Structure 1
Amino acid sequence: MIVLNSEVYVISEIKRKTRAKVFEDWRVGDRVQFSTEMRRNSSYSTVYASMFTAINLTQGTEITKSQTELVNVLRSFEIVPEVVTDVDAA
């Protein structure tokens, strides 16, 4: 199994409110990251929907959704890459 993590993003705007579990608590300024796993299926000929975990690093919460579900929920937010200002942190 290989775990793939995105860079860290910051919520810069809430475009519309959502009642989706966990996402309803996301706020402007929260730091978020996304993760997925690459793994072999038990059946080599079958492909399942990719599952992604949305991790709110600021609040310490996470939720796993299918790619389709996650994309639909993320339309409620403007998310930009985090800018690292400390050269030593990079």
Structure 2
Amino acid sequence: MNPEDIPSLPRGVRLHFDKIRETWVLLAPERAVTLDAVGHAVLSEVDGTRSFGEITLALSEKYNAPQEQIAADSAGFLGALRDRRFLDVTP
């Protein structure tokens, strides 16, 4: 994923707090992915307007971590979601 790419959740995909399991999930039609704290933190920043670079910068400032490391980890996570059609990416 390039720094200027803009990730967004496609129509019908949303973050949801599952009260029964007491965890965050990413819901799509007839599919769901349970998120850990890191996955939730990354997806909470995805708003469809900010670029991947802006998102990783915000996360690095929020968690006082190197942006390069956050970008590397987040790119793999978001890439996997894109491959499974849980995420759209606009170049």
Shorter-chain TM-score range = 0.3 to 0.5
Task: Point out the structure with max Rg over C-alpha.
Answer: 1
TM-score, scaled relative to structure 2: 0.38
TM-score, scaled relative to structure 1: 0.39
Higher helix share: 2
